[in-house]
Every structure is written in structure tokens, then in C-alpha cells.
């Protein structure tokens, strides 16, 4: 029995699972890929972090960033 079931270990899923665990909750994370991080997964290739599923960008409506 778990407190939370997280489907997908991308940015939101991974951070939510981490924070819930830090609060003492039990969390089960399921991911269809063999790695965590979802579409932002990178692999170190000769010292360079290479996005394995294509480049991603972060968008915000916060004018200060």
C-alpha cells in the first residue's frame, strides 16, 4: 500500500515523488522507459550531457526570468 502512485518520472513526477518521500509518505513511481527523467533524460557522452529524446525548453510567464 502506498500513499501516492506517480505515473511518469519526468520533471513533475520525479520532484513530486522526492518531496512526498521527504515528508514521510510512501510513493510508487511507474515509468515506461528504462530510465528516470522522462523526456529530459540526458546521457554523458564524452563529458557532454546529450538529450536522448531531443532538446527541451522551459517556458514561463514570469517576466523576471
* Torsions phi, psi for 36 (to 5 deg): -90, 165
Does residue 35 belong to any structural domain of this protein?
yes
Q: Is the pLDDT confidence value at 65 over 70?
A: no
d(CA 20, CA 41): 22
Residue at 27 is within a domain: yes
Write out the residue range of the structural domain in which residue 24 sits. 4-51
Which of 44, 45, 47, 43 lies closest to 35 in space, CA to CA?
43
Residue 57: inside a domain: no
Q: What is the tally of structural domains in the chain?
A: 1
- Rounded CA separation 51/45 (Å): 10
pLDDT tens, residue by residue, 4-55: 999 999 889 999 999 999 999 999 999 998 888 888 889 999 999 998 887 7
Amino acid at each position: 500500500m502506498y500513499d501516492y502512485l506517480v505515473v511518469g518520472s519526468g520533471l513533475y513526477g520525479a520532484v513530486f515523488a522526492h518531496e512526498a518521500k521527504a515528508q514521510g509518505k510512501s510513493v510508487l513511481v511507474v515509468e515506461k522507459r528504462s530510465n528516470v527523467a522522462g523526456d529530459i533524460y540526458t546521457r554523458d557522452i564524452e563529458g557532454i550531457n546529450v538529450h536522448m529524446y531531443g532538446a527541451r525548453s522551459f517556458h514561463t510567464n514570469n517576466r523576471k526570468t
